[in-house]
């Protein structure tokens, strides 16, 4: 019996190690593509290098999902495929010519459709994505309220330009809605709803690590180390909140408030 138990334990350990190896390789591929994007843009002023790198990553992830029929980590690779898709969408739009809010919408709509398609392919239910009705409302409200505390340090660290040039009530409300949907909700649905949920299926609490590291990689393009560290800590907090409550409602509220105060309210108030 001891021998049999040891064999089963060893097999589980080997499976866990194999899963982490695939995850590390996948995250390394995204990191390499993001590095190519940043280096290409800064060094030679060309984002084509980054676009090619992300296209290669996308092909690799989709190919692995199709080929690895019995590999459980293939589900995470399909979920992570949304990341290069979003990057390729952002690189295909002339960000210098488009208003920031239009940029959010034009990238956000196809990104949301991509997440829906991946979720349907993986047969994920709304509750699996953290979209089910919260068991308790109070914890979600408490988590959402943390956005009021996070917005100011996010602004002071990043110092973004005002998103609303003419601060009329209508334009401020419009900016708030766009940032809440295509910023707060989209990121929480992707990182905590899709990626963390799928990764947690075979890595347990490691799902928070995967979603947080993915967040850190994509914020690295800001070239602001303090901001990357800050958003990584925020991602860990959000990941823990979603794991504990089973819903992204609170973190979506917090993320939306963070973005609205960081990009709209504080630039207008402090400027």
Q: pLDDT at position 124, please?
A: 96
Confidence (pLDDT) at 27:
96
pLDDT digits (tens), the chain, 271 positions: 333 344 444 444 545 677 889 999 999 999 999 999 999 877 776 788 999 999 999 999 999 999 987 778 899 999 999 999 999 998 887 655 567 888 899 999 999 999 999 999 999 999 999 998 888 899 999 999 999 999 999 999 999 988 888 889 999 999 999 999 999 999 999 999 999 999 998 887 899 999 999 999 999 988 999 999 999 999 999 999 999 999 999 999 999 999 999 999 999 998 7
In the chain, % helix, strand, coil (3-state, to 5) comes to: 80, 0, 20
* pLDDT value at residue 229: 97
Q: What is the reported pLDDT for 95?
A: 59
164, 171 Cβ separation under 8 angstroms: yes
Asked if 213 and 199 count as a contact pair (C-beta separation under 8 A), the reply is: no
Length of the chain: 271
Inter-residue contact 189 to 126 (CB < 8 Å): no
What are the extents of the domains in the chain? 2-269
By the 8 A CB rule, do 146 and 254 touch?
A: yes
pTM surpassing 0.85? yes
Q: Are 219 and 29 in contact (CB under 8 A)?
A: no
**Is 40:47 a contact under the CB 8 Å cutoff?**
yes
Cα 69 versus chain centre, distance: 26
Q: What is the pLDDT of residue 118?
A: 97
d(CA 78, CA 179) in angstroms, rounded, equals 26
Which pLDDT value is given to residue 1?
36
The Cα 69–Cα 62 span in angstroms is 12
Task: Quote the pLDDT of residue 6.
Answer: 44
Phi-psi region of 131 (alpha: psi -120 to 50; beta: other; left: phi over 0): alpha
Contact 192, 248 (CB under 8 A): yes
């Amino acid at each position: 019996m001891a021998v049999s138990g040891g064999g089963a334990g060893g097999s589980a350990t080997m499976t866990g190690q194999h899963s982490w190896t695939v995850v590390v390789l996948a995250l390394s591929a995204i990191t390499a593509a993001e590095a190519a994007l940043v280096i290409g843009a800064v060094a030679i002023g060309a984002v084509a290098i980054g676009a090619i790198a992300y296209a290669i990553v996308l092909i690799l992830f989709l190919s692995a999902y199709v080929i690895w029929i019995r590999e459980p980590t293939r589900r995470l690779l399909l979920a992570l495929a949304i990341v290069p898709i979003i990057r390729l969408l952002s690189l295909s739009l002339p960000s210098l010519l488009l208003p920031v809010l239009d940029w959010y919408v034009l990238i956000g709509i196809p990104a949301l459709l991509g997440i829906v398609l991946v979720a349907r392919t993986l047969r994920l239910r709304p509750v699996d994505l953290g979209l089910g009705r919260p068991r308790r409302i109070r914890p979600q409200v408490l988590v959402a309220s943390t956005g009021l505390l996070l917005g100011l340090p996010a602004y002071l660290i990043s110092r973004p330009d005002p998103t609303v040039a003419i601060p009329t009530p209508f334009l401020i409300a419009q900016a708030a809605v766009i940032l809440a949907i295509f910023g707060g909700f989209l990121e929480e649905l992707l990182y905590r709803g899709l990626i963390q949920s799928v990764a947690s299926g075979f890595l347990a609490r490691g799902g928070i690590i995967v979603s947080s590291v993915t967040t850190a990689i994509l914020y690295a393009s800001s070239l602001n180390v303090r901001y990357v560290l800050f958003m990584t800590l925020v991602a860990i907090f959000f990941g823990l909140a979603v794991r504990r409550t089973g819903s992204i409602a609170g973190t979506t509220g917090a993320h939306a408030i963070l973005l609205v105060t960081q990009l709209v309210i504080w630039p207008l108030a402090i400027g």
